[in-house]
Amino acid sequence: MSEKAQLIIGGKTYEFPLVTGSEHEVAIDINDLLEKTGAITLDHGFKNTGSTKSAITFLDGDKGILRYRGYSIEELAEKSTFLEVSYLLIFGELPNKAELFKFTDEIKKHTLVHEDIKKILDGFPSTAHPMGVMASLFCSQTAFYPESLDPNRSAEGVRLSIVRSLAKMPTFAAWAYKNAVGHPVNYPDNSLDYCGRFLKMMFALPAEDYHVDPVIADALDKLLILHADHEQNCSTSTVRMVGSSKASIYSSISAGINALWGPLHGGANQEVIIMLESIRKDGGDVDKWINKAKDKNDPFRLMGFGHRVYKNFDPRAKIIKKAADDVLGKLGINDPVLEIAQRLEEVALKDSYFVERKLYPNVDFYSGIIYRALGIPVELFTVMFAMGRLPGWIAQWKEMRENKEPIGRPRQVYTGATPRPYVAIDKR
Ligand code: SDX
């Protein structure tokens, strides 16, 4: 008989089956807890709660392990490409040459967006944050492709929505940037690869030749791989929750873009650079800011540090930190905030406050330094995170739909007023 968990409530013992994953993680299956015991669980922030079974990404927070479909993030970042990793996450296996060529070619054929998108874009003032523009433009695809409103339509129809999402995201991102700087938009140049096309749409200026720097394109491709998926994080759980109501892939991912925007999640990469610049302008006194981060009466947090799951080094942070050195060296850039970041890390990792709470640099701590070196403006840093996370959101939405998961509807413990009669206004 498989092992069981026992729960004693009101002197009665209840048994629940244990579920063991392929990496030997153990969960208590409480699918009939309320029916059996009349009680629910309470778990703020779902720190101890699994929402699903998934075969996409595995991470071990204690060992600092991250694998996409069983392949280590270190190997994929070094040897693969973003579109190959996207295919792996979404379809479950690395593509062969013909499959990757077909996938890449399909994406090339859908990089253009409907001209009416410009009418939506023109409605945004240049002060609009590009994440808000992106979320709106991405969701507007439900208007241009109304057949996508049925998430259960044919496999070919779902694949077309997946291809359109990956193909148009860079166009939306670049157009959101052009809107922020008041420049005319550029159309995708399909003679270039995925990152080259994006960089040219971002930085090409009228009547100027733009040449893609391979160092920049390669660094961007690696960063997108490192952000591609991360199991049931805040934005991915949002995509799954919205998708569980049978909302379209476009509206589900638009919700994920909004969840990623928050400074505690994907928005942290923008906050890290703002923080590092503040420390630099304040004279670079790292100890002063470390003490502020430790002071419970001070709202300052060390952005880019800490993680819900990683209680060891975020493996992505290690790769990005090395890549930052490489890219700045190759581009001949000496960014003073890199040295401040390295000193912050060095001091924090020796400080008992951070050591006791197992707070290490996360994916966002060094990524902004590379984005800045690549010429990406700070208000677009989280947009870059969204571009990278897109295949993960797609893969998770697709898995949830294929597994026919029920609509997400958590319960609560009510703590409000108990029954009371209405009192007429002149008697209150
Ligand atoms: C991402 O989930 C994912 O996988 C996300 C992500 C992905 O790929 O999708 O990895 C991407 O979102 C990375 C995280 C980016 N966010 C930041 O860098 C913002 C700064 N970090 C935090 O605010 C915090 O660490 C979180 C939000 C990341 C995690 O928060 P938790 O797990 O809810 O932990 P907590 O806030 O309860 O903190 C535990 C303790 C607290 O102190 P005590 O109450 O125990 O005294 O650690 C302290 C916190 O005050 N703490 C920090 C801190 N992070 C946590 N103190 C100072 N600086 C920090 N950065």
> Would you say 319 and 64 are in contact if contact means Cβ atoms under 8 Å apart?
no
**How far apart (Å, rounded) are the C-alpha atoms in residues 111 and 99?**
19
308 lines ligand 1 (CB under 6 A): yes
Distance 59 CA to ligand 1 centre (A): 17
What pLDDT is recorded for position 150?
A: 86
Q: Which of 46, 57, 232, 264 to mutate to test the pocket of ligand 1 (most atoms within 8 A of CB)?
A: 264
Catalytic residue list contains 364? yes
CATH number of 70-266+378-402, picked from 1.10.10.10, 3.40.190.10, 3.40.830.10, 1.10.580.10: 1.10.580.10
12 phi/psi in degrees, rounded to 5:
-105, 140
Does the beta carbon of 304 sit less than 6 angstroms from any atom of ligand 1? yes
User: Between 3.40.50.300, 1.10.230.10, 2.40.50.140, 3.10.310.30, what CATH number should domain 291-370 receive?
Assistant: 1.10.230.10
347 CA to middle of ligand 1, Å?
18
Q: Is 363 touching ligand 1 by the criterion CB < 6 Å?
A: yes
Instruction: Please list the ranges in the chain whose pLDDT falls under 70.
Output: 1-2
What torsion, rounded to 10 degrees, do the Cα atoms 380, 376, 113, 204 define?
150
**Two tokens, residue 424:** 């007429």
pLDDT reported for residue 149: 87
With a 6 A CB cut-off, is 305 part of the ligand 1 pocket? Answer: yes
Place of tokens 């002063």: 288
CB 302 near ligand 1, within 6 Å = yes
Does ligand 1 come within 6 angstroms of the Cβ of 293? yes
Query: Domain coordinates of the chain in residue numbers?
Result: 4-66, 70-266+378-402, 291-370
Write the burial class of residue 273 (CB in 10 Å: 0-12 exposed, 13-18 middle, 19+ buried).
buried
Does the beta carbon of 317 lie inside 6 Å of ligand 1?
Answer: no
CA 293 to ligand 1: nearest atom = 57
* Each residue's pLDDT tens digit, 117-166: 999 999 999 999 999 999 999 999 999 999 888 877 889 999 999 999 99
Q: What is the CA radius of gyration of the chain?
A: 23
Mutate to test the pocket of ligand 1, among 362, 367, 389 (most ligand atoms within 8 A of CB): 362
Q: How far is Cα 334 from Cα 360, in angstroms, rounded to an integer?
A: 24
At 2 the pLDDT is 63
Does the domain at 4-66 match CATH 3.30.40? Answer given as no
SS (H, E, C) the chain: CCCEEEEEECCEEEEEEEEECCCCCEEECCCCHHHHHCCCCCCHHHCCCCCCCCCCEEEECCCCEEEECCEEHHHHHHHCCHHHHHHHHHHCCCCCHHHHHHHHHHHHCCCCCCCCHHHHHHCCCCCCCHHHHHHHHHHCHHHHCHHHHCCCCCHHHHHHHHHHHHHHHHHHHHHHHHHHHCCCCCCCCCCCCHHHHHHHHHHCCCCCCCCCCHHHHHHHHHHHHHCCCCCCCHHHHHHHHHHCCCCCHHHHHHHHHHHHCCCCCCCHHHHHHHHHHHHHHCCCCHHHHHHHHHCCCCCCCCCCECCCCCCCCCHHHHHHHHHHHHHHHHCCCCCHHHHHHHHHHHHHCCCHHHHHCCCCECHHHHHHHHHHHCCCCHHHHHHHHHHHHHHHHHHHHHHHHHCCCCCCCCCCCCCCCCCCCCCCHHHC
Mean pLDDT of the chain: 95
Query: Which residue out of 229, 307, 314, 335 is catalytically annotated?
Result: 307
Encode pLDDT of 292-340 as tens digits. 999 999 999 999 999 999 988 899 999 999 999 999 999 999 999 999 9
Residue nearest ligand 1's atom 20 by CA? 303
Topology match between the domains 4-66 and 291-370: no
Question: Which residue minimizes the CA distance to atom 40 of ligand 1?
Answer: 357
The two three-digit tokens of residue 172, written as one number: 């939306």
Nearest CA to ligand 1 atom 4: 233
